[in-house]
Chain A
Amino acid sequence: MQAIGLSMILGAPLIASVALLLLRGRSRRYAGWIAALVALFSLSSTFALLPALYSGEVPALQLPWIPTVGIQFELRLDWLALPFLVTEGAVTLVAVVYSWGYHHVDARTHLYYALLMLFALGMAGTTLADSMFLFYVFWELMLVASCVLIAVWGEGERRGAIALKYFLFTHFGSLLVLVSLITLYVAAGTDSFAALRTGVSLAPALANTVIVLFLVGFCVKMAVFPLHLWLPDAHTVAPMSVTIMLAAAMLSMGAYGILRFPLSAFTPSQMAPFAVPMMVGGLISEVYGAAMALAEQDVKRIIAYSSVSQMGYVLFGLGSLTREGIIGATLHVIYHAIVKALLFMCVGVVIRATGRRSISEVGGLRRAMPLAAVYTGVGALAIAGVPPLGVFDSEWMIFAGGFRSGHLWLGALVVLGSLLTVAYALWFWGRLFFGEHPERLEIRAVPLAMVVPTVVLAFLALIEGLFPGPLFAWAQQGLALLLGGTW
């Protein structure tokens, strides 16, 4: 039964994308509906497995694949994967619904939704995979699907070059991950993650190399400074729904990778030397991303750089190697997904309404778009970490992790750095909706399909901040799988 549930999560988007490709042009009128239903189904399948998880079971599925080299098709849903899986599922659903309004139906619409489904499949597969080969296959599927989406439906003439840059850059990170994966495979003698759970014994120098390669590889995906160079361009050029999936869900795959490999396969003493580098990396990224967001003019790039900054918080929390820090980082992934999706949707609404992308050409929109002012405000305040919105909880935990780690000065710096986040968030909101309304700025109507999911997310940002209990419990459960489980 659980195996069926697991295969549903992955099978639904796979079947949907194949069906959309086969139906070709005939399906373009209802391709969006199919994709949304499938995303909803996939998400519900995840929730359907929750009771099993609560009762202490671990849904898993094993099939032989390439027996000669011991490669198996293994899926497994544990507490570490759950928060990420739910986040991806929810973001996909929201992004698909948003596409109804954002994406103009044309001859290739079926292809667009099929690729969105493949992108979602890649992300869900990455989180569910329980063997290394399979993990990497899904990991790259995620990249291929998103790259095609950018190359074909991107905005602007340079989309081809930017897609190539995105592919090469993140593929470089993937290669580092690949080398580490195979080194673990060789050391453990098995493809299955079961070996990671029991611990892998490597020579100290080799273990350090593997950890470094994993961290650098996953930091490319997380777009942590200075490995973020692909992100601003890719996020700016991608169609908005794809940007939402990239920023809100795919970036956090890097955090998942760090949790799944270095943090669960190695012991606290093996990881200890990397704590300070990770925290410093997170801190620099936090400050750099926020500073760049302050300096940018393009509304989409502002929010894109905000991702660099936010992933800095996540890396800092993970690097603290403390209970609080890791819970905080996991929560931050979820909260950031909601808030980042919300902010990009707001940007999309503003661009659609005004037709302009430079923040200096827009202003005083609160009279013409009072509702947008409210939900953008919620997003801006949330990302600034204002209580009781969700991000406040996770940042609190991350800061606590920083102080608990024994590096007080790093903790203090990251708290101070968050001031920059407040600055760009409020300035962004203020410049868009307050101040002078430029003359000759026409406001056009925005499709309901773009507004409704945005409003829903704004409510979600409020609610999860007020009732964070279940999410804390999820993140806490995952801890038992990390660093030998002794906390």
Chain B
Amino acid sequence: MSGELLLGLPLAILAGGAVVAYLIARLLKASGEVLAVFVALVLALAVVPLVAIRVEPASRSDWVLLSVGSVLLLGDPGALVVGSIALGLGSIVSLYSGRYIADRDRVKLYYPLLVLLVAGLLGMVMAGDLFSLYLFCELMSISAYALVAFRREQGTAIEAGFKYLIVGSLGTALLLFGISFVYRAGGSLLLVSGPADLADRTWARAGMACMWVGLGVKSALVPLHTWLPDAHGRAPSSVSAMLSGIVVPSAFYVLLKTGVGLGFRAEDLGLLLIGLSLLNMTLGNLMALVQTDVKRLLAYSTVAQVGYVMFAVGVGLRYAAPDAIQAGFYLLLAHAAMKGLAFMCTGVSPSAADVTSWRGTAQRLPLVAAALAISLGGLAGVPPSAGFVGKWLILIRSLRQTDLLAVLATLLFLVNGLVSLGYYLPLIGAAFARPAGPAIETRVRPSAWIGLPLVGLGGLVLAIGIHPAPWLEWMSDVGPALLTWGALR
């Protein structure tokens, strides 16, 4: 099968899947469980072509380009990795939603929206030009707003969705604004070719600044993160798992891709990313430390974890170290699995909001407590979890650099790791504490619908940590691709 076909196939599958899902819900009155399985299969099926592209030898000249009408898709290694992670996580989340989204009347909207969210995300990371990028970014964003406010009977959900909508629209508007500047500067929207000196033109720089602020909102760069704790904290847990697990990191990847794609120097981007990452991890961890609501705590932890990923990628770009970028993407994968798992655990107790109400979870729901311990232990970076392997790999690269910036940044990175223990451990502790608190009584007993995704994702988290070699191998092209992108122009 040709590369172009493989690149286009996932989006085609998702587009078809969304329509079919809506139709079988509407016409056949299919139940939530049936839809969940169907959508999970659709998303899993869409991964296959993406992984198949990876099988071919990947040097830059082999990147697949596909042009459909005015949409241009580009199969660069990073996009394939991020896209596959999104599809994989989406598939598990869909299964989990089968019982979790119990609203019989509106499941017909939930699953198509979920598919469209993933489709938008996939198109966005694979965009080959800024037009397609904007198009898919909007598709993803609008699905996300709707999903955050999905439980409309709860006032807080509407409020969070609305806040997300306002801030997010501001972000996409700025993105569009920036795109127009870039077009003014170079007369081209392509991320793979165009004027070589584009990055030196004033309009392009102004456009780039606007785009980064716009995408910065989506990827929760501090101080543009303010919408995130509300949206992730109040969305249904399955949606939070997607948003925190992959939507925010994928927006970060797009940010990165526009930077290198428009020909900005890797060293400059790296410096910027290191600086921003320190803000993200420090503020994220400090804010998480003072949270009492578990989902808000996890949301702030996402801000911090995105900071870790940015730090690794920044180090890689700044010091031309492709393996640091690889480490960053490994952490991105690990974080997607761990944070998805953590949010899925919170979904089992719709009533329990604050940390203390988790007391006694281990007694009543041992599976949930175990999954929570695995995911939070991983996020905290306890060996031999995937989170720890990621941090180790990042440290190997950052400690190799001897200039003051790298040393100080690494120091802050380590201190942040220590600070984050201050909120992960009490939460694990609460889950295993006895006697149980009163709130535990109201929890739903997890069925296989909830249990299987927890077991599957938990197993995946362990597998990524204990046997990291194949995963690292899978993303080994990402670093060189990003570093040499400029040579394409």
Contacts and interface: CB of A to CB of B under 8 A. Distances in A.
B469 A175 contact: no
A172 B395 CA distance: 16
Contact of B383 (A137, A151, A160): A137
A160 B429 contact: yes
Interface residues of A, number: 30
B433 A140 contact: no
Contact of A151 (B395, B432, B469): B432
A136 interface: yes
Most buried by B among A140, A164, A182: A182
Nearest to B393: A69
Contacts of B323: 68-69
Interface string A176-211: 001100110110000000000000000000000000
Given A65-B469, A152-B432, A182-B392, A144 B399 contact: no
Contacts of A164: 422, 425-426, 429
B392 A133 contact: yes
A479 B472 CA distance: 40
B418 interface: yes
B432 A168 contact: no
A136 B410 CA distance: 18
Interface string A381-394: 00000000000000
B399 A179 contact: yes
Contacts of B418: 168, 171-172, 175
Contacts of A65: 469
A183 B407 CA distance: 12
B469 A183 contact: no
B421 interface: yes
Contacts of A140: 382-383, 388
A417 B421 CA distance: 38
Given A151-B432, A160-B429, A167-B425, A175 B472 contact: no
B403 interface: no
Contacts of B383: 136-137, 139-141
Contacts of B384: 137, 141
Interface residues of B, number: 30
Interface in A57-71: 64-69
Given A141-B383, A168-B421, A69 B399 contact: no
Most buried by A among B323, B382, B392: B392
A136 B395 CA distance: 13
Contacts of B400: 186
A164 B426 CA distance: 8
Given A140-B383, A164-B429, A182 B395 contact: yes
B432 A66 contact: no
Nearest to A151: B429
A139 B382 CA distance: 11
B414 interface: yes
Given A144-B382, A160-B429, A69 B414 contact: no
Contact of A69 (B388, B410, B421, B472): B472
B292 to A, nearest CB: 16
> A interface, by DSSP: helix, strand, loop or mixed?
helix
Contacts of B395: 178-179, 182
A167 B418 CA distance: 10
Contacts of B410: 179
Interface in A39-80: 64-69
A183 to B, nearest CB: 6
Contact of B399 (A67, A141, A186): A186
A363 B326 CA distance: 65
A171 to B, nearest CB: 6
Interface string A132-171: 0100110111001000100110000000100110011001
Contacts of B392: 133, 136, 178, 182
Nearest to A180: B399
A109 B50 CA distance: 48
Interface in B413-449: 414, 417-418, 421-422, 425-426, 429, 432-433
Contacts of A171: 418, 421
A175 B429 CA distance: 22
Contacts of A133: 392
B373 to A, nearest CB: 9
A185 B396 contact: yes
B429 A182 contact: no
A163 B422 CA distance: 12
Nearest to B469: A66
B473 interface: yes
B476 interface: yes
Nearest to A144: B382
B468 interface: yes
Given A160-B429, A186-B400, A167 B469 contact: no
A182 B401 CA distance: 12
Interface in B284-333: 323, 326
B432 A68 contact: no
Contact of B472 (A64, A68, A167, A179): A68
A178 B389 CA distance: 12
A342 to B, nearest CB: 32
Contacts of B399: 179, 182-183, 186
B472 A66 contact: yes
A138 to B, nearest CB: 8
Given A168-B422, A182-B395, 18 more contacts: A64-B469, A65-B469, A66-B389, A66-B468, A67-B469, A68-B323, A68-B472, A136-B383, A136-B392, A137-B383, A137-B388, A140-B382, A144-B377, A164-B422, A178-B395, A178-B414, A183-B399, A185-B396
24 contacts: A66-B389, A66-B469, A68-B326, A68-B476, A69-B393, A69-B396, A137-B388, A139-B383, A140-B382, A144-B382, A148-B432, A152-B432, A163-B429, A164-B422, A164-B426, A164-B429, A168-B418, A168-B421, A171-B418, A175-B417, A179-B395, A182-B392, A182-B395, A183-B399
